[in-house]
Amino acid sequence: MTKRFFKFRGRFDFSPHPYEIGNPIFSNRKLEDNFFALKLYSLLDSEYKAFYDFHLNHYLQRNPDGKEAFFRKVNRSIQRRITFYSAKDPFKSVYEINSANLDKLEAFQGFLNTIDEWNVNTSTEKMLNQKDAEIGLLKSNLADLQARLDELLQYEASEKIVINSGNIVAFMDVMRKIRKLVLPNGKRLLVTQGHSPWYKMIAKNFVHGDKPISLATAQNYFSPENSSKHIFISDEDKAFDIVSHVPVK
């Protein structure tokens, strides 16, 4: 059984959908390409997508995986007609009609090119040029990322600072106190919008004995006091006081 791609109007249906093809009395469905083109000639450019989708959806109801097959069918039919009309004698009396049909076909072909997911209408040379452009863009992005990485690596230390084993709480207490230091003029010595610079700096650059400090652990030391994850430090675990220096006048 020959596969049909397009939706024909019903016999004696004198109120068909505007995109259905064929005649109301009898249509030779073997000539469906011709009927499809005839309908196309009567459409505005703005209707091309709706017209195409109407017949595509009809075809997909019976062929769920047929999106590419449908595209190739329509594309081949349109290209054949473009070739046919392009070869017509421009001095014949029907040239004006032929020229108008050719304009419609070429405009519809332009639409098909915009939905060509399978590069059916893309020449090998064009595909290679597209790939070269993509590779060029990727190389440019890679070079940019490498430059950014090189800049970041300048600030990477070759080793981490070791907190004496068993004294991480005393260290965290000192860091908290440093964060809250106030200058004689009443301004904070160190200012950040949040806590993340502190705990990320610690997790990245310090180890407790021979063990890394997890980001979550460091974060809990700097979380708000009303947070359930906040780690309180008892007075007996605080080993240092920071005393402001008052210059002798």
Q: 1 in a domain, yes or no?
A: no
Q: 97 in a domain, yes or no?
A: yes
Which of 135, 156, 177 terminates a domain? The answer is 156
Same-domain pairing of 106 and 148: no
* Model confidence at 135: pLDDT above 90: no
**Type of residue numbered 83:** T
DSSP secondary structure string, 105-153? HHHHHHHHHHT-TT-TT--HHHHHHHHHHHHHHHHHHHHHHHHHHHHHH
Same-domain pairing of 107 and 178: no
Same-domain pairing of 33 and 109: yes
Same-domain pairing of 129 and 149: yes
Same-domain pairing of 108 and 43: yes
* Model confidence at 139: pLDDT above 70: yes
Q: How many domains does the chain have?
A: 3
Q: 23 in a domain, yes or no?
A: no
Q: Which parts of 164-233 fold into alpha helices (H)?
A: 168-179, 196-205, 215-222
Q: What is the 8-class DSSP label of residue 31?
A: G
Question: Which residues have CB under 8 Å from 111's CB, separation 6+?
Answer: 45, 48, 49, 52
Cβ-contact 113, 74 below 8 angstroms? no
**Can you give the pLDDT at residue 79?**
94
* Measured distance CA(23)–CA(33) in Å, rounded: 14
Give the burial string for 166-181 (b: 16+ CB within 10 Å, else e).
eebbebbbbbeeebee
Same-domain pairing of 109 and 65: yes
Q: 176 in a domain, yes or no?
A: yes
Q: 168 in a domain, yes or no?
A: yes
Cβ-contact 218, 199 below 8 angstroms? yes
Which pLDDT band holds residue 185 (cuts at 50, 70, 90)? confident
* Measured distance CA(142)–CA(162) in Å, rounded: 35
**Can you give the pLDDT at residue 14?**
87
Q: pLDDT digit string (tens) for 29-80?
A: 899 999 999 999 999 999 999 999 999 999 999 999 999 999 999 999 999 9
**Can you give the pLDDT at residue 124?**
65
**Can you give the pLDDT at residue 189?**
92
Q: What is the 8-class DSSP label of residue 92?
A: S
What are 208's two structure tokens? 């407790």
Determine if the pTM surpasses 0.85: no
User: What residues does 206 pair with on adjacent strands?
Assistant: 161
**Can you give the pLDDT at residue 126?**
65
Provide the 3-class DSSP secondary structure of residue 212: strand
Q: 14 in a domain, yes or no?
A: no
Provide the 3-class DSSP secondary structure of residue 237: helix
Same-domain pairing of 177 and 226: yes
Average pLDDT, the chain: 90
**How many C-alpha atoms does 245 have within 13 Å on its Cβ side?**
2
**Can you give the pLDDT at residue 58?**
96
Same-domain pairing of 106 and 96: yes
Same-domain pairing of 56 and 100: yes
Q: 60 in a domain, yes or no?
A: yes
Give the burial string for 130-150 (b: 16+ CB within 10 Å, else e).
eeeeeeeeeeeeeeeeeeeee
Cα-flanking dihedrals φ and ψ of residue 155, to 5°? -100, 5
- Which domain covers residue 213, as residue numbers? 161-237
- Quick one: what percent of the chain has pLDDT higher than 70? 95
Q: pLDDT digit string (tens) for 145-156?
A: 999 988 888 888
Which of 108, 140, 156 terminates a domain? The answer is 156
**Can you give the pLDDT at residue 155?**
84
Same-domain pairing of 137 and 166: no
Q: pLDDT digit string (tens) for 214-223?
A: 999 999 999 8
Same-domain pairing of 34 and 86: yes
Q: pLDDT digit string (tens) for 90-101?
A: 777 777 888 899
Q: 24 in a domain, yes or no?
A: no
Which of 102, 135, 156 terminates a domain? The answer is 156
Region of poorest pLDDT, from 23-27, 58-62, 144-148, 209-213: 23-27
Same-domain pairing of 178 and 233: yes
Nearest residue to 72 (alpha-carbon basis) of 111, 106, 121, 38: 121
